[in-house]
Structure 1
Amino acid sequence: MISVATRAADTDSIIHYNLPDTVRAVGMVTDVNIHPTGTKETYAGIGTKFIRLLVRKEKNDSYVSFQFPFTANVLTKGAKVEMEKGELEWKFNWQFNTPYKLMLSSAVDTADQFSIVSGYLYLPAQQKWKLIGTCKMKGETKPLIDLQAIRSTGRKSNISVAFTDIMVQRAAGSWKRLDDPSKAVPSPAVPFLSNIDSLYQWEEDKYIIELARTLGATKARDSIQGVYYQIIEPGNGKSISLTDSVTARYQLRLLGSRDVISGSETESYTFLLGTLIKGWQLAVPLVKTGGKLQIVIPSGLAYSIRTRAAKIPPNSVLMFDIQVLDTKPAAT
């Protein structure tokens, strides 16, 4: 069901996409293409009851704007993104008559009653994503409700806007079209989340890790391709191959935090090592079965700019304490 509304101030024209109660949205993406007919100020983009992600022009300046409630906290932001109360803003000379892909992605923690939402812009020339930023909203566990396509109206904003490939991501990960359900969802639905700020973030993460080592937050001193590690016990069992199925105990924390996000000192978990984040693939084969180690993984070798979980925001540096219990060749 689609309803159209214009605000009383006649500044916004909004298309509302109302989903069935059985569909829990965790992401929204669309292509926005603005066609001007003589305008000084304009904006268009996507939003929800709580959030807006817009491309915007004011006189001679162009921006990407990520707006959220004043009570929300900013967890992370992209390079050269400026922060104001309730808004993150990136100065970017976007062009009229050019489609730009905008995406909102969310994660929810129902136990602690909060959610995080990230805003992204896809840069077609570089074929990479720009993370504008991520905010945290306490007490809100349904951040992506009342999905919207938004455009400016009024005397100073004489434009036409084409919204295409409007899609919603469901909690299970699949995508659903909102604009024309008769059309197939593109494959892939969204381009891989490669990060335009990866070199900048690599240097930021190096600084954070060095500071943590100085302050004693980790004893990891050695490194392999950017992953820092401390071998507590080397183990005297079998060697570990990247193609193995590995059984381990682990505890995950954000670097600098004492809170365990996942894992357990007593529970064991079995993984195909080659399917895990790059930091595990690099560091775990440094020990044999029975071995223990602590590893610190920069975000680029972990989840990068993905909104992976409510307690793992984009650009998170991760610290794992790992004990390898067993390894064996993966079943073919």
Structure 2
Amino acid sequence: MCGLTGKPVNHRLNGFTLIELLVVVAIIAVLVGLLIPAVQKVRDAANRMSCQNNLKQIGLALHNHHDSLGYLPAQGDYRQAGGTVYWSLFTRILPYVEQENLQKLIDFSRPISQQPEVAKKKIKLLVCPSEINDRERPDTPTFTHYPLSYGANNGTWQVMQPPAGVGDGVFMVNGYTRLTDILDGTSNTLGVAEVKTFTPYFREGANPAVGGITPPQNPTQLEPYWTASEFKTDSGHTEWVDARVHQTGFTTTFTPNRVVPHHRDGRAWDVDFNSNREGRSAILPTYAAVTSRSYHGGGVNVLLMDGSARLIRDQISLATWRAMGTRAGLDILQPVD
């Protein structure tokens, strides 16, 4: 068809056809699908680095405490007030992490239960940026705790034998460790490792010492101790002020992120175990399987006692992991990837 000028008229409109539009949408969807994992990977890497920086600051604080007082802070002291005063080592290093004013609020001669203004305080340094449960835990209508993402090295399995400390980790109960006591070398020895907040755990079970003090080799060997235990569904590692191992510690009984399964009420739980909470008995020992866990894929961040921080892979051998957890086992370690 010709117009008035005698030239052909082009009736095609400028724009996208439906097919072209669908192609563009499909391309955008593919690009977004590629971009999201990349962004997530960058975010995870940044969180892992930030977590390691937290650990390095904790390590610096521990060393400054040692330089000032001549020893590392104790994991807890249960010899006062009938074992009801058990402030964590993290409360002892507050002045070295720019929290001196908070420590001034603490009366270390009185129980935690009498000082709610301290227990509810969030210490940002103690929470990993990847932690998905970064929130308060109400204990009573008038008392709130704040969780933490890091636990101190309480050794392999036996944490305490009243009245002495006994544990083979870096941080002792009812006693102090000096850097010169770490005979395995500070670069080979775990100081602090990641843990997950709101961890379910068993407590006050059968006494493992009855069957010998050899650490279990796999989680199924813990099950006999659970029979008469009290099960707590979500309160492990929720009290940064509490020195007891299920709150501010870990043990190397099992390798990082090893699932310790328990099935109850139609649910599968990944649990910790504390045979007898520290301070409850003047004679009964405490054994604990409190596993280091994290939300970083493939491993956990740890602080070594030389002040360095690194990622330890889940595939580390149990023997090597346990050797890293002792302060004076005199083990010869293989290189850790």
Task: Give TM-score scaled by structure 1 length.
Answer: 0.25
Which structure has more RCO (C-alpha within 8 Å, separation ≥ 6)? 2
Counting helix residues as a fraction of each chain, which structure ranks higher? Answer: 2
Counting strand residues as a fraction of each chain, which structure ranks higher? Answer: 1
Task: Give TM-score scaled by structure 2 length.
Answer: 0.24
